[in-house]
């Protein structure tokens, strides 16, 4: 049973839970909701109306999420807070003596890119590590064992501009790989939902809409799961890319993919290939992985301009010569899309059949593909 309000309810009612637990609770709630609906249908009510009534009866989803958080997450946080408190108490004298504040070891991180997002999660622009953007940014960094996704905003002041960290989530590479390998059964979340309320100059800024969630549970096959998993694994480990055989110069600005996608629907796009950074220098190619949200047009085609996110890693030149095809993976987005973005992207549309994952070879440097 797929229904926009139902999916939103399930999404909201399980917010904040770890992915596996979230999927399990969603399944339980969905099963019970369906049984409620069946009860009413047996009594002669139409399915759509029955579902609406049940959701009304269920009340605010945050009541469930709050309760579930109390059961499944609070004990963890309590432990963590007690642990941090203990460590802080023990280390306070040393900190005072050193007159310094403990910070994350940023120097050990390797910044990959900045990504600019607008309010409906379209890409505004992207830039390299040393540049900053106005508005909301997602920073992707990596240390030897962790992938960091950090949300930032740049706030402009009369005499300076400051980048302020809003929140940060990091996961062990192994954990992320495990999460990704469980795509089929897990809702993997790239969501910066913690510490999104930020206070500066007595003004509270709420950036809770930053980030996005993609629910892959029904949208991805095992094969594609492995495919995506491999990309991310490469990204994490920065190893050679083995599956590409031709190198094509990148000079185009607009690319099109003729697809058989659902019209006017958001897709997660993962694009690998080469990009020629300096148009005068054919050797200035960098291997790239791009990912982001693309909206199909009325014909079910995609048009690329700057509507992608890019993640760069320093190429291993030996491996570049082995690159063969540029490919884009388009995964139909379902489920937990932030309602605010969903409003812009697909409000009113039914949630989708899970089958479509498009793997389309593309060629960088040609205007029409």
Partner 1 sequence: MDSNLLKGNLDLILLGVLEGGEMYGLELTKAVNVRTDGGLKVAIGSLYPALHRLEAAGFVVAQERTPPRGGTVVRYYQLTDEGEQALRAKREGYRSFDTLMQNFLGPQEETR
**Where does this chain bind partner 1 (CB under 8 A)?**
1, 25, 27-32, 34-36, 38-39, 57-60, 63-64, 66-68, 70-72
Distance of CA 105 to the CA centre of its chain: 24
Q: Is 119 helix (H, G, I), strand (E, B) or coil?
A: coil
Residue closer to partner 1 (CB basis): 63 or 194: 63
| Nearest-angstrom CA–CA distance, 112 and 141 | 5
Residue closer to partner 1 (CB basis): 36 or 233: 36
We find the least distance from the C-beta atom of residue 29 to partner 1, in angstroms, to be 7
| Nearest-angstrom CA–CA distance, 353 and 262 | 10
We find the least distance from the C-beta atom of residue 265 to partner 1, in angstroms, to be 24
We find the least distance from the C-beta atom of residue 333 to partner 1, in angstroms, to be 21
- The angle subtended at Cα 265 by Cα 259 and Cα 267, nearest 5°, is 70
Residue closer to partner 1 (CB basis): 70 or 85: 70
Residue closer to partner 1 (CB basis): 35 or 91: 35
* Closest to 328 measured CA to CA, from 217, 236, 234, 244: 244
CA separation, residue 264 to residues 42, 165, 227, 260, 339 (Å): 36, 34, 25, 12, 16
In this structure, are residues 211 and 218 in contact, taking their beta carbons and an 8 Å threshold?
no
| Nearest-angstrom CA–CA distance, 274 and 324 | 10
Q: Is 189 helix (H, G, I), strand (E, B) or coil?
A: strand
We find the least distance from the C-beta atom of residue 220 to partner 1, in angstroms, to be 19
Residue closer to partner 1 (CB basis): 75 or 135: 75
- CB count within 10 Å of CB 74 equals 11
Residue closer to partner 1 (CB basis): 63 or 87: 63
We find the least distance from the C-beta atom of residue 221 to partner 1, in angstroms, to be 20
We find the least distance from the C-beta atom of residue 228 to partner 1, in angstroms, to be 26
- CB count within 10 Å of CB 344 equals 15
Residue closer to partner 1 (CB basis): 60 or 131: 60
In this structure, are residues 324 and 244 in contact, taking their beta carbons and an 8 Å threshold?
yes
We find the least distance from the C-beta atom of residue 61 to partner 1, in angstroms, to be 8
């Amino acid at each position: 049973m797929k229904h926009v309000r139902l999916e939103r309810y399930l999404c909201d009612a399980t917010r904040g839970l770890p992915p596996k637990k979230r999927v399990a609770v969603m399944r339980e709630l969905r099963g019970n909701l369906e049984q409620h609906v069946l009860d009413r249908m047996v009594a002669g009510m139409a399915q759509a109306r029955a579902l609406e009534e049940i959701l009304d009866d269920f009340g605010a989803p945050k009541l469930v999420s709050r309760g579930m958080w109390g059961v499944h997450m609070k004990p963890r946080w309590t432990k963590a807070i007690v642990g941090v408190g203990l460590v802080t108490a023990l280390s306070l004298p040393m900190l005072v003596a050193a007159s310094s504040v403990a910070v994350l070891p940023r120097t050990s991180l390797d910044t990959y890119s900045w990504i600019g997002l607008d309010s409906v999660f379209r890409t505004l622009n992207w830039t390299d590590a040393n540049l900053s953007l106005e508005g909301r940014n997602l920073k992707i960094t990596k240390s030897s064992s962790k992938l960091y996704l950090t949300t930032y905003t740049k706030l402009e002041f009369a005499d300076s501009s400051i980048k302020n960290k809003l929140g940060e989530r990091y996961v062990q590479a192994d954990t992320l790989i495990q999460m990704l390998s469980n795509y089929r059964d897990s809702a993997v979340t790239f969501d910066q939902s913690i510490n999104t309320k930020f206070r500066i100059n007595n003004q509270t800024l709420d950036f809770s809409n930053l980030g996005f969630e993609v629910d892959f549970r029904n949208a991805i096959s095992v094969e594609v799961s492995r495919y995506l998993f491999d990309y991310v694994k490469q990204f994490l480990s920065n190893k050679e890319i083995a599956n590409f055989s031709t190198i094509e110069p990148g000079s185009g600005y607009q690319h099109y993919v003729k697809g058989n996608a659902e019209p006017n629907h958001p897709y997660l796009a993962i694009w690998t290939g080469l990009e020629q950074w300096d148009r005068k220098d054919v050797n200035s190619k960098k291997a790239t992985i791009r990912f982001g949200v693309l909206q199909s047009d009325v014909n079910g085609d995609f048009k690329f301009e700057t509507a992608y996110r890019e993640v760069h890693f320093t190429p291993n030149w030996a491996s570049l010569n082995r690159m063969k095809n540029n490919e884009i993976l388009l995964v139909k987005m379902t489920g937990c899309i932030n309602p605010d973005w969903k409003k812009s992207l697909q409000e009113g549309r039914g949630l989708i059949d899970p089958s479509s994952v498009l793997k389309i070879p593309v060629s960088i440097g040609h205007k029409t593909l």
